[in-house]
Amino acid sequence: MFDEIESVKQNYRYILLMLVFLVAIIIAYRYLSPFLDFFYDIDSLREFIRGFGVFSPILFIGVMIFQILAAPIPGHVIYLAGGYLFSPIPGIIYSLIGLFIGSFIAIYLSRCLGRPFVERMVSAEHLEKFDQLSSGYGLPAIFFIFLLPGFPDDALCFISGLTNLRLRGLLIAVMMGRAPSLILMVIAGRNLAEAEWMMFFLIILVISIVSLIALKYRKRIFNYGNSTQK
């Protein structure tokens, strides 16, 4: 009897927490939507964030979190801005902090709100393919998918939350998979700020080539995971 009461209370806490999350996202989107052009223009984003002075790192981390939860916003522009705004080490640290918090919230939201919530952002076909790949290979598959540029990483954070994998291991796989491209883009952002064009274009070229290869073989990667389940 007491266990049932406690279970009901816990469910109510989850529902209340999710309502708070959703209201916060709606409010943020409502009031930040006029500024969405900043996310697509690195110079405008730089000036906008620099205008907050000593609070710029906190604002940048907030932008990172918002970018992950509002998946249509391009993450690579934010990574570039991290290097463009700060020196490489602080830029990488701030970006990783924002990435961790945003990924945690995305995974936690999808686990609490369930599959119908995620299906509003991702097609059922992609969900099914991801399910088969992750169930067959677990954390290594999650790491590999996030490691390759060209995949919709932010949407994948929500999708990965639907797996039965432990939260800690899942977050480690997500962070380790996304960190290399994040670090490279932050460094490229710094090269851009210092007009080191050769290094900037070299990094962009490498990431673009790997992205094109990943996009070309994306269907084969998913189909390989599906075939091993048969």
- pLDDT for position 221: 55
* pLDDT score of 2: 45
pTM confidence score = 0.71
14 in a structural domain: no
pLDDT of amino acid 201: 84
Would you say residue 142 lies in a domain?
yes
Kindly state whether residue 46 falls inside one of the protein's structural domains.
yes
Domain assignment of residue 24, yes or no: no
Classify residue 220: in a domain, yes or no. yes
Domain that holds residue 110: 36-227
pLDDT by residue for the chain (230 residues), tens only, comes to 544 554 545 555 555 655 665 566 556 555 555 555 555 566 676 777 777 888 889 988 988 888 888 755 667 778 888 888 888 899 999 999 999 999 999 888 888 888 787 877 777 766 777 776 666 667 887 888 788 766 667 777 888 888 888 888 889 988 998 888 899 889 988 888 787 888 888 888 887 787 777 666 656 655 554 544 44
pLDDT at 220 (0 to 100): 61
Give the chain's domain count. 1
Token representation of residue 179 = 């960190």
* Domain-embedded: residue 6: no
